[in-house]
Amino acid sequence: MTRFLLLFCGVLGGLFAIEMLKPVQEAVIQPFTGILATISTALILPFDDTVIAQGRILRDATTGFAVSIEAGCNGVEAAIVLIAGIVAFPATIQNKVIAIVAGFFFVQALNIVRIISLFYLGQWNYAVFEWFHLYLWPVLIMLDVLIVFAIYLQWLGKQHPKAEAV
Amino acid sequence: MLMRRQFVLTLILIPIAFGIWYAAGTLFSAPAVWISDFLLSKAYPNIIEAAGLRGAEMVVRTQFGESEGQIMAAAAAGNQIALEINTRLVSYSIAFYAALLMASNLKDGVFKFCIGLFWLWIIMAFGLASIVGKELLLLAGKPFLSAPGVPPADIIALTYQFNVLLMPTLAPVCLWFWQLRGSPLWEALAEDIKRASSTGASLPR
């Protein structure tokens, strides 16, 4: 447990510091955030053709309402928590890589739902948008991280069910 | 099964916990504001005069003033800049923590909630202090950074990210996990962890 906690905190702090570096922001985080906006637009377009993506901004061409996906809104911080948990927990490298890729996908999938929901909530009612943006969605994203990590532990256990008797 | 029950119940309880948290207004924020006021006014008396509550906002009276668009010492400017900070940006961690804890139906749940609340108030105080740091960095810039004891801008940005964007959701999970020990859910989780960690047992520790 102590080993897990130390490794978790170390990896979390390290990845957080790396994420904040200017070259990493410019080369990885900002383009990635732009991709999130593009994917969100691509998912909305079949149902609503008034939406356009401009870099990290998602805009409604008719109402002019726009949301900008900023640091803290791109799901990277939540993914970092998940990665730190996976790296800190003893498992084979192969299992860790699979879990990180799948976990990142699940966190980002929910994050895209979050971005799209906020885009429409903002056009409907700004107070509700603020509530979901600032308080509810961060909690739901962290709950998603917790669920993914719990599923990962169960998946690891199922891979070697007989190990319990060892 | 217990884990699934935990997550479903948490999702059901989140709206209730958030409703109570919002209705309680300043009740859940006040102790964190007092701690933050104590920390900031003691550590940076030349930057912060005092901090207090006004509704759900923390009002911070700074030692800076503004004259002809320039930020300077309040005494020289003849006025004082005050910051208004939304305490709910960090206090929603209490609602999340309450939902997690209530869903686990632990023994001595109320006592555990009080212990958790105490830790959350301390974490929230650091979150509020980080917001003050970020606001002053954006508002005052150089005069703030050149004041004694103020960390570099990168550290202020990092602590803001960590204490405001991450800790309000991570801290409740850590506290809840710590307080789970001895519960049926913990036993089930420990079983999962035991089986799962045995798959990586061959790895050097």
pLDDT for position B171: 96
Between chain A and chain B, the number of residue pairs with CB atoms below 8 A apart is: 105
Q: Do A134 and B88 touch (CB under 8 A)?
A: yes
Percent of chain A predicted with pLDDT > 70: 96
CB under 8 A, 24+ apart: contacts of B17-23: B17/B95, B17/B96, B17/B98, B17/B99, B17/B102, B18/A135, B18/A136, B18/B92, B18/B95, B18/B99, B20/B95, B20/B98, B21/B91, B21/B92, B21/B94, B21/B95, B21/B98, B22/B88
Report helix angle A137-159 to B2-24, nearest 10: 170
Percent of chain A predicted with pLDDT > 90: 50
Give the integer Cα–Cα distance in Å for B31 and B37.
10
Q: Do A154 and B196 touch (CB under 8 A)?
A: yes
Q: Do B196 and A89 touch (CB under 8 A)?
A: yes
Spell out which residues of chain B touch residue A134, defining contact as CB-CB under 8 Å.
Answer: 88-89, 92
Using pLDDT thresholds of 50, 70 and 90, give the confidence band for residue A134: very high
Give the integer Cα–Cα distance in Å for B112 and B117.
8
Over range A104-121, report the average pLDDT: 94
Over range A2-11, report the average pLDDT: 89
Spell out which residues of chain A touch residue B196, defining contact as CB-CB under 8 Å.
Answer: 89, 91, 152-154, 156-157
pLDDT for position A161: 58
Q: Do B11 and A163 touch (CB under 8 A)?
A: no
Q: Is the pLDDT of residue B205 over 80?
A: no
Percent of chain B predicted with pLDDT > 90: 61
pLDDT for position B200: 57
- Which of A55-69, A127-141, B15-29, B110-124 is predicted with the least confidence, judged by mean pLDDT? A55-69
DSSP assignment of chain B: -HHHHHHHHHHHHHHHHHHHHHHHGGGGTHHHHHHHHHHHHHH-TTTEEEEEEETTEEEEEESEEEETTEEEEHHHHTS--EEEEETHHHHHHHHHHHHHHHHHT-TTHHHHHHHHHHHHHHHHHHHHHHHHHHHHHHHT-HHHHTSTTPPPHHHHHHHHIIIIIIHHHHHHHHHHHHHTTTSHHHHHHHHHHHHHHHTTTTS--
Q: In Å, what is the CA distance from A101 to each residue of A11, A112, B146?
A: 17, 16, 43
Per residue in B124-150, pLDDT (tens digit) is 999 999 999 999 999 888 888 988 889
Q: Closest chain A residue to B92 measured between Cα atoms?
A: A135
Q: Closest chain A residue to B162 measured between Cα atoms?
A: A16
Which H or E element spans position A150?
Answer: helix A137-159
Q: Is the pLDDT of residue A105 over 90?
A: yes
Q: Is the pLDDT of residue A43 over 80?
A: yes
Residue with tokens 């050149």: B146
Per residue in B79-129, pLDDT (tens digit) is 999 999 999 999 999 999 999 999 998 888 899 999 999 999 999 999 999
Q: Is the pLDDT of residue A61 over 50?
A: yes
Give the integer Cα–Cα distance in Å for A87 and B93.
25
The pTM of this model reads 0.89
Give the integer Cα–Cα distance in Å for A77 and A62.
33
Task: Round the average pLDDT of chain A to a whole number and report it.
Answer: 88
ipTM of this predicted complex? 0.87
Using pLDDT thresholds of 50, 70 and 90, give the confidence band for residue B201: very low
